[in-house]
Structure formats: structure tokens, C-alpha cells
Structure 1
Amino acid sequence: MNAAVDAPTLRALLTRADLRLTLAEDDALEPGALDRAVRWVHSSDLADPTPFLSEGLVLLTTGTQFQDDPDDAGSYRAYVRRLAARGVVGLGFGTEVVRAGLPPALAEACRDERMPLFEVPYRTPFIAVARANAEAIAAQTYARRSWALAAQRAIALAALRPDGLGATVAELARQLDTWVGMYDAAGELSREHPVDGLDPATAAALGREVTGVLNRGARAGSSLRIADTPFSLQTLGRGGHLRGVIAMAAGDLDQEGRGVVTAVIAMAGLALEQQQGLSRARGALRAGLVHALLTDDPALARRIARELWGPLPAAPVEVAVTDAAASRIDAIAELLELRVDERRGSLFFGRGDDGLVIVVPVGERGPVDEVAERFGVRIGVSDPTGYDGFAAAVGQARVARDRGTGPVTAFAEVARSGVLSALSDEARSLARAELAPLSAHDAAEGTHLVETLQAWLDNDCSHEASARALGVHRHTVRTRLALVERVLGRDLSSFAIRAELWAALRALDPA
């Protein structure tokens, strides 16, 4: 990215033989003091010209402001300090106008402030120095613009190659003379140039930063520093629908550099949007195969999957269902697409009615755990099954997902809690309505019908065991149960009635 012409610096001015400028001394200067950019060259003999100066200037003076007391070291020190505080990068003293040679007090003040001081001979007009710097600025600007046009042309040609995105990333890296990487929507490094250009620790830290940018979902550019390396990140795609991130091992770029990067972002974004159409078609096909598997006849799904992605995972399999919202499903699908390529025949996925359905061989839940950890979604996993039980397995996975408390919950974990633990709020509302006549009678008459009914059902409908549990005579239990039948209008000799009342009591008091 370096220009092929001298940059407008003080060193460039001093090396111009036609100007015949002489540096006073450089042993006291800071490293790089002569290589700072010179934005302009200005001349002034004011005692305090700083109100009319800006940072990055070189000031030229003949020293007439010091004529009243040409040997006052304090005046020179104060003068140079003001210039240094204003950001002046160099001071040129025109000799043979007011005095011959450089004033020793001025040279000492510049040495103390580490201000580059140079002599401008009488036969070199100040305007020639200013013009030389202006020409350097113009030449560099032209060179940078020419570079930008050439770089954009090279990048446009790279985009026409078979792997347009990879070639574009490589060409951008060459033009910027730095490492460039492209991350997909799942935060995976899909392309980079040069390959393995970052050490593992830096690559891991950068990957975490990229994942954070993608998780926020907002289109933005950002800068960061990892160890001693500055990075710039640029998102690809629309806000809320990010397609990836381009990362560059570079700090602030100039206008031309930013223009080249903007061109790459535009081309990469367009290419990814075009690929998105293909991804949608692929996702629709996968969803169709999931619905085909739900018929518990895998023949069609097996044939299509084998031709496109490889064989379905061998039975027995575990079926997982995510709770991811639509905005996250796309990113999860991109990650799983990469894993399908890596685990050919050991992973299948597709969109279901309320999340992604993921199929893996028993005991190989690696992709499931990765999705839960990376995207913070909840996933339920079925018991091992064959494809003839696929629909039931999806149902199990949904139950595990909805009732689980961790990132990944197996159906076997929630099945141990029993059927009644899955009763919904609607079931509890029905239970309250069912038992309301008994509760109202107890409240009005001071009876214990609900308590007696629960004790009787809990003790397998034994009058004697219920009496012992309640601390009453068994005839009292019989009398209360007869009253329960009259209040509810139900026959307690029916098993179905007993089961319904027991379930109602359990729904209201699951303990």
C-alpha cells in the first residue's frame, strides 16, 4: 500500500538538493521525528504565530521577532515551547536576512524540545520550500488515487475467478500488504490470506471478537487491538441478517484505503446475497426431507440426501430440536452446513415446524453441543431411535427442549419426572373447576371432603388406611365419601372417575 513517491515529510524536504536545506543536528531528536507527515509549510515572523497554525506544519522564520534581544535564551525557549505544544513538526530559520547562521539560543531551545531545526540559506526563498512540499502532497495524492483505482480494478478481476470470494480476499491482502480473513455468519474463518498468517492465540482472540460482532447482529465497522496488532472489522450483509465479517490486520486506513475496502465489502456482500438464494433453496429441500422423515418412511429422504450431502446418519440415531428463532436459524444452519461437509454421513439437519431438527448417530452429539454453546439456544434430544420412529423422536425432543432447564436436555431426563408433571396451566384450571364444589362445601360447612378424598385415593381407596391417615373412624370416611358423591354427582366406584379426581388433585398439588 506504499506510494511509489516520496511522502511529504521533513526528511523528504531536507533531501531535496535544489533547496539546499541543512539540519542543525539530529542526535537529540526522537526516532521518526523527521518522518512525520508535513501537512503544509508556513512562514511567519510573529512572536507567537500559534493562533494561525495547525498541527503537522513546518514553520519558516527569519527571526525578526527576536531583534529586540537577539541573545535572550528565555524568549527562544518560550517560542519553541509554544510551537511544540501546537504540534509544529519542524522549524526552518532563514539565514542572512536578519543574522548570519542559526542563533545558538534557538538551537539549544530546539534541542531541549526535540524540535527539528534546519537552516534555509538566503538564496532559497521560503516559497520554494512551501512549493516543494505542496508538490510532494499533490504527487502522493495522485499516487494514492492511482493505487486505489488499480487496486479496485485488480480486486474486480479477482472476483471473476472461480472462487471469487477467496480470490478477492487474497487480492485485498496483497494490496493492503497485510493479513485479511473472511468469517461466515457462524463466525467460522472461511478464507484468509496469507494462510495461517496469525498465531493461534491471536486467531482465537480475533474469532471471539468476530463472534461477538455477529451475535449483536448490527451492521458496523469496528477497530480493536490484540496484543500489538491492530485489527479492523467490517460486517457483511444487512443489519439483522449479517452474512459474515471481513477482518484486516490494519489500523486506521486513509481515504483511498477505505475506498478499496468499501469496494470489497460491496462485492463480497453481493456475492453472499446471491449465495443466499441458493442457501434458501437448499434449506427448503432440507425442510422437505424432514417432513418426509416424519412419515417414518426414510426411503425418499435417504435417496435425495445421498445424492446431495451423503448418506443419512446410520440408525440408531438421536434426534434434536432447537428453540432458535428464525433470525438465528440461518446462522446455525450455516455452521451445520460446514459440519455436514466435515462429518459426511454423520449429521443431517433441516428446518422443522418450530426450530431446526438435527440428526446424529447415538453418542455423537458434538454438533448439538456446539450449537447450544455458540448460539445460546436450548435443545432437546430424543431417546435412541430408528427412522421408523422418527416422528415420535421429534416429539420427545420437543418435550425435552420445552421442559429442560439446561442448554441440552435429553428426553430420558424429563421422562423420569412422570406424566402428570407435564400438565399445563389449562389442566390446572380444569382441576380447580372439577374440585370447586367440594372446596365450596368445605368452606361453607366446615367439612373435610377434599382432604378425605385425597387421603382415600392416595391409600388405594382403602377405608381403613384412609381412616388411620386422617385419624378418624372408618365409618366417618365412608360417610364423607358418600357426601363427596352427592356434592360432585359422581360415582366413586368407577375407576375412570377415581383416576380423573386423583389427576385433578395432583395437578393442584404436584408434591
Structure 2
Amino acid sequence: MPVTLSDLLAEADLDLRLIVPPSANGGSAVTVSAVAPTELPDPSPYLDGGELVLTTGVRLRTEQQRRAFVKAVAAYGAAALGVGVSSPGSQLPWSAIPKAVAEEAQAQGLPLIEVPEPTPFVAVGRFVSTRTAQEHAAGVTGLLDAHRRLAAALLSGGRERGRQALLAELSRLIDGDARILRYGSLEAEATTGGRDETTTWTEQSIPTGFKDRATLATRPGPAAALHAQAAADYARSLLGVELANDNRALLREREAAGQVLRDIIEGRIRGAEAKARLESLGVDDGPHRIVVVRVPAPQRRSLAALTLGGRGNRGLEDLGIERTASIEDALVIVSLTAETAALHAALSRAGLAASVGVSRPYRRSGLTWAWHEARAAARAARPGETVHAQRLTLTSLLLASADAPTAELAEQTIRPLAAEGPHLVQTLRAYLRLDGAVQAVAAELGLHRNSVRHRMEQVRELTGHDPSRTDGLAHLYLAMSAWDLAHPAARPDSGREPAAPTGEMG
């Protein structure tokens, strides 16, 4: 606690006497930052505010000078004015504080203290400086102890419990509430209880090196320690290191799990070994669904480190999640449920524009099929949308394959048609969807049958692929499907893949 006017008055060795008390709103809790002895008629250029100004008044000979001196001291925010008075036979000018000084101090609301001659001004200054140094030392000691307690709490309970223990210790230090928020969700909190809910929260960003919007929020109470804010700053630094390590650990964990899943999906691990590897990841025989979450390239690192479940959300088990992994820049979830509303809510709070694909349910042996279904469904989904996979087709496998040059195929085949205007792409899309039935295409587009045939002849000339032949029709169908995936805004029906051609011609 800083030195107050009441501390000075209570010190018997100083023998100070209060002549003009502080104003009613300040009381005797007025703090004294320093002691400033002066005999200048106007000491204001040398005051910073908060000082106890001491004078003998040796140069204040007239009433006007005395009042001007008091006004100057009050104007610059001095804590109080102390006047030295003489004993019989002393050389000091005043045996009692002049009436003008007392009246002006009363008028200015400036506390006035009488300092008897046996008390040297240096003794008053020594008292204030000693107490200030003691308080500073106590504050440093208290802060170091708070640092030690916060660090010990964090290290005491492992990843989850240690973080909660740190918040509990910080809550005690600030006599209030403390929270950790990440990706827009409440992750952990601690409270002393009984706090006024209207009190404003103070939020500080936690530096983790990830775009996880980690934040430490505190709401101090009336009995907070003097070093409460410094303790919160230190807790923020500790949490920054801890959360950054957690993020990196989660990335490594998901990459390792993703490698196991890829080895199984691509057939490098089979049978009993595959079963053992999946069980080590916590994946039982199911049935399970694979959920694939895709985001734009700038958001992939944030997605890979996104925490699901936690104190503020439903836990992983409540979300039906058995394992999360990273494959091909996507977040892969082995899930017991097809419900994705809670997942989308978490993604939205994290600010991620995610497309989600969900496979049909499979036993452990069907993991490969589930992966391909979910990946194809995720590619067909728009941001913020979930697509549930239907029966896997050869077309969807080719479109989802990272090795098949489907994007290049679409560009080479469909781009020349699009360059002629929308009519050829529109006609080809309808032709493929309606199984090559020219009459049905003409009716849908409001054209004559010969106009449809003429346009399809243009398609053959521009692409080099004849839609009347099975191989040409299959090529055009695959190219159009890939084109629609690459240009979702141009799709007339983004939620449905066109039906596979049957080979029937119109």
C-alpha cells in the first residue's frame, strides 16, 4: 500500500498535527508520493503532484504572498501542505500557522499539517521514502511469489488440469474471474463466485504463433492484489507458451494419425496390423463415418490446429468423434454420427469457411470406401455446407483423386465451349443430365431439336470428342463434372452431381 496522510499522522515520533483535514470525498486516505521541502514563493514549477510540500514560510511575509503560495501548491495537485512552527526562542518565523494560510488551505481543499520544530523535515522525508521502499520491496516479493505460484499451478496437473489450475490461482490473485477463449469458444474458466455480472471484462490476446484467437479474459474484484495486473500479464505469457506447445503437439498428433489412415486407405497396411493400428488410435470396429473438412489455403494451418470439444463446448465423445487426423490439407474426423451442426458451429466460431463431406457408415474394413466418399462429398460442398455422400461411383473416385489430372481435363475440354458463350456449356450439361435425349433437351431449353443437334456438333468440333460415341460421352461427362467442381458458382444445382450417362442416345 502507498504511504497515506493517515500513516504520517499516526507516526508518534513525527508528532504531526492535522490543522485542515482532507475533503470529505478523499478522507485521510490521501496518498503521499514524496516529500518536497521548499522556501520558494512559488514552488509549482518543481511539483509533479502527490507531494507533501513542507515550508517554514520564511519568505512569505505578507498575507498576499501566503495565500498565493497555498494556491500554487494546491493548483499543482500536492497531496498536502506541512508548515513548520517554532518553539520559544527559535529562529523560525511562525510560532503558529498564520490565519491566511489556514483559511486558504480550507478554501482550496488542501490538507494542512503542523510540523513542530523538534521534527526535522528530513525525518518526514525519510519516513515516506523508507515506507515507499518497503512497499516496493513487498510488491516485488509478492509479484515473484505470484509468478512462482502461477508457474507451479501450470506445471502441476499436465496439459488440461494444469491450465485449469493456473486459472484458479489467477482467479484468487485478482479476486475475480478468469477465462481462456480460443477459436471464438470458451475453453476454460475459473471464478471466485458472487461477482457482479455487469463488471467489464478485460481481454488480452495470448501470443501463440497460430491464428487461434487465443484470449485471456479477466474480471478483477475489489480485493485484488496490488500486482494483480502484472500477475495477469505473466499468466498470459505462460499460457502463450503452453498453448503454442499444445497447438504444435496437436499438429504432430493429427499428422501421425493421418499417416496411419493413409497407409490403410492406400493398402500399405492390411489385416491384423491395420486393426491394431486403428485400435491404437482409439478407433473400434464401428460402424463409423469419415468426415472430411476442407477450407481455403490461407486457413489450412488454423484448421489443422483447431481444437474440438473442451470446457466450453461439448466434449469429443458428445460430438461422436473418435479420432481427428490431417490428410491432404484437410481435417479428417472418424465419427460415430452423421450430425455436423455442432461441428459447423465450432468452425464458424473459429472464422473458418469450411466445406464438409460425410461418408456413409462403414465398419473398420470399409475405411477406404468411407474416405473416398467423404472426400468427394467435401469437394462438392460449398463453404458452410455439408454434403452427405451417396453410393460411390467411378466418376466420384476419379474426381476426388489427387493423382488424376481431372482439373486439366476440364480446362482443355470445357474452356473452349465456355469461350463461345454460356449456351454450349448449358446445352452439354442438359444433354448429359438427360442421358442424351435430344427431344428432352430441346424441351428443357426451349429449342428445336435441330438446334440441339447443331450445338452438339459444335461441341464435337471444339472438343474433339463425339458425344454420340461411348468413349466421347464418358470423357465429356467426366470433364463437365470436374468443371462444375472447379467453378461452383456456375453450377445450376450445386448439391447434386449429374447422373452418370447410360449410353442412350436421342
TM over 0.5: same fold?
yes
Cα-to-partner distance string for 1:76-102 (whole Å, 9 max, x where unaligned): 665444333322111112234333433
The one of 348, 355, 372 equivalent to 1:379 is 355
Quote the offset at 1:389 in angstroms: 5.1
Match of 1:134 in 2: 129
Aligned counterparts of 1:126 and 1:482: Cα–Cα separation in 2? 109
Check 1:270–1:484 CA distance in 2 against 1; reply closer, same or farther (3 A cut): closer
Find the partner of 2:302 among 328, 344, 359: 328
TM-score by length of 2: 0.68
1:124 aligned residue (105, 119, 122): 119
AA matched with 2:261: V
- State the partner residue of 1:319: 291
- For the structure 1 residues 396 and 44, does the alpha-carbon distance in structure 2 shift closer, same or farther, using more than 3 Å as the test? same
* Structure 1, unpaired ranges of 5+: 203-226, 440-448
**1:105, CA displacement in angstroms?**
3.5
State how 1:92-491 maps to structure 2 within 5 Å.
92-96=82-86, 97-155=92-150, 158=153, 161-163=156-158, 164-174=162-172, 176-179=173-176, 181=178, 183=180, 185-186=182-183, 192-194=189-191, 227-229=198-200, 231=202, 233=204, 235=206, 237=208, 239-240=209-210, 244-250=214-220, 264=235, 279-291=250-262, 294=265, 309=282, 311=284, 314-315=286-287, 317=289, 319-323=291-295, 325-333=299-307, 335=309, 341-343=316-318, 346-377=321-352, 378-387=354-363, 390-411=367-388, 427-431=410-414, 433=416, 460-461=437-438
Partner SS, residue 134 of structure 1 = helix
Whether contact under 8 Å (1:22, 1:119) holds in the other structure is yes
1:430 maps to amino acid: T
For residues 177-220 of structure 1, the C-alpha deviation after alignment (integer angstroms, 9 at most, x for no partner) is: 52363627556655555465757xx5xxxxxxxxxxxxxxxxxx
Task: Report the alpha carbon displacement of residue 15 of structure 1 after superposing the two structures with TM.
Answer: 1.3
**Aligned match of 1:38:** 32
Q: Is the 8 A contact 1:455 1:470 kept in 2?
A: no
Q: Deviations over 1:23-43 (max 9, x none)?
A: 2243x6143353243221012
When normalised by structure 1's length, the TM-score is: 0.67
Distance 1:452 1:230 in 2: 60
Q: Give the match's secondary structure for 1:410.
A: strand
Residue 397 (structure 1) shift? 3.9
After TM superposition, the structure 1 = structure 2 runs for residues 39-58 of structure 1, keeping only pairs within 5 Å, are 39-58=33-52
Over residues 303-353 of structure 1, what are the superposed CA-to-partner deviations in whole Å (9 max), with x where a residue is unaligned?
5565664747x4363623232634313541465798555538654321121
C-alpha distance in structure 2 between counterparts of 1:432 and 1:452, whole Å? 14
Deviations 1:249-289 (A, max 9, x none): 349x9996676556655655555566567545533442234
The CA deviation at 1:235 is: 2.0
Alpha-carbon separation, structure 2, partners of 1:186 and 1:34: 48
SS in 1 for 2:156: coil
Q: Among the aligned pairs, what percent are the same residue?
A: 26
Secondary structure of the structure 2 residue equivalent to 1:42: strand
With over 3 angstroms needed to count, the CA separation of the structure-2 counterparts of 1:154 and 1:276, relative to structure 1, is same
1:89 corresponds to which of 79, 86, 92: 79
Task: Provide the rounded CA distance (Å) in 1 between the counterparts of 2:152 and 2:35.
Answer: 41
Alpha-carbon RMSD across the aligned residues, in angstroms, is 5.3
Q: What is the CA distance between 1:453 and its match in structure 2?
A: 11
**Aligned partners of 2:491 and 2:317: how far apart in 1?**
47
Q: Which amino acid aligns with 2:385?
A: V
Aligned CA distance change for structure 1 residues 84 and 197 (closer, same or farther; 3 Å): same
Distance 1:172 1:452 in 2: 67
Measured after TM superposition, the shift of residue 356 of structure 1 is 0.5
Q: For the residues of structure 2 that align with 1:20 and 1:483, how far apart are their CA atoms?
A: 110
Matched position secondary structure for 1:332: coil
Cα deviation 1:433-481 (Å, max 9, x = unaligned): 5899xx8xxxxxxxxx99999999999457xx89xx8779x8x999999
Inter-partner Cα distance in structure 2 for 1:94 and 1:290 = 87
Q: What residue number does 1:206 align with?
A: none
Query: Conserved in 2, the CA contact under 8 Å of 1:290 and 1:351?
Result: no
Contact 1:289 1:350 (C-alpha < 8 Å) held by counterparts: no
User: Could you say if the C-alpha distance between residues 186 and 480 of structure 1 is closer, same or farther in structure 2, counting changes exceeding 3 Å?
Assistant: closer
Give the 3-state SS of the residue equivalent to 1:240 in structure 2.
Answer: coil
1:380 is matched by which residue type in structure 2? V
AA aligned to 1:235 is I
- Preserved CA contact (<8 Å) 2:18 2:114: yes
Residue identity in the other structure for 2:356: G
Counterpart of 2:57 in structure 1: which amino acid? G
Instruction: Report the structure, 1 or 2, having the larger helix content.
Output: 1
Q: 1:43 touches 1:59 (CA, 8 Å); kept in 2?
A: yes
Structure 1 pair 309/92, CA: closer, same or farther in 2 (3 Å)? farther
Contact kept? 2:357, 2:379, Cα under 8 Å: no
CA distance 1:130–1:172, change in 2 (3 Å)? same
Report the equivalent of 1:219: none
**Which range moves more in the overlay, 391-400 or 118-127?**
391-400
User: Could you tell me how far 1:22 is from its partner in structure 2?
Assistant: 1.7
CA 1:160–1:12 in structure 2 vs 1: closer, same or farther (change >3 Å)? same
Give ranges in structure 2 of 5+ residues lacking alignment. 87-91, 401-405, 485-489, 493-506
CA contact (8 A) 1:186 1:332 kept: yes
> Tell me, what secondary structure is at the counterpart of 2:94?
coil
In structure 2, do the counterparts of structure 1 residues 228 and 316 end up closer, same or farther at CA, with 3 Å as the change threshold?
A: closer
Of the three residues 13, 16, 41, the one matched with 1:18 is 13
Q: How many residues end up aligned between the 2 structures?
A: 453
